[in-house]
Amino acid sequence: MLPGDVKTGFTAARKKSLVGAEVYGKALEHAVAVMEHDEQSGMPPVRIAKAVLAAANEKNPRAFRTVGFQYRLFVFLAKLLPATWVNALVGMIYR
């Protein structure tokens, strides 16, 4: 299951590590802030639960299941594009 960003209590409960802060500074702080925002505004956990239940009830479930259009699109592009391009796209999300 590739759930993407899910709105759970995990973000608020996370203990932040300062490892790397002295080297990466503002870039690290910004990337984590983007991740936190995406998690807090993500899809509800029940949507993932329904996808897990649907997969469990399939006769021949797929090895990987992506939930949400945004993530399906990204996985599709990752299959088509060179890895360096995919990494650049991910990097642009967190800049």
Residue ranges of the domains in the chain?
10-93
Pick from 20-34, 49-63, 70-84: least confident: 20-34
Tokens of 54: 């649907």
For the chain, give the mean pLDDT: 89
CA angle 18, 15, 7 (to 5 degrees): 125
The pLDDT of residue 70 is above 90: no
**Residue 37: is its pLDDT beyond 80?**
yes
At residue 56, does pLDDT exceed 90? Answer: yes
Q: Would you state the pLDDT for residue 81?
A: 95
Q: What is the three-state SS of 25-53?
A: HHHHHHHHHHHHHHHHCCECHHHHHHHHH
Residue type, 94: Y
Does residue 18 register a pLDDT over 80?
no
Q: By C-alpha distance, which of 35, 30, 32 is closest to 4?
A: 35
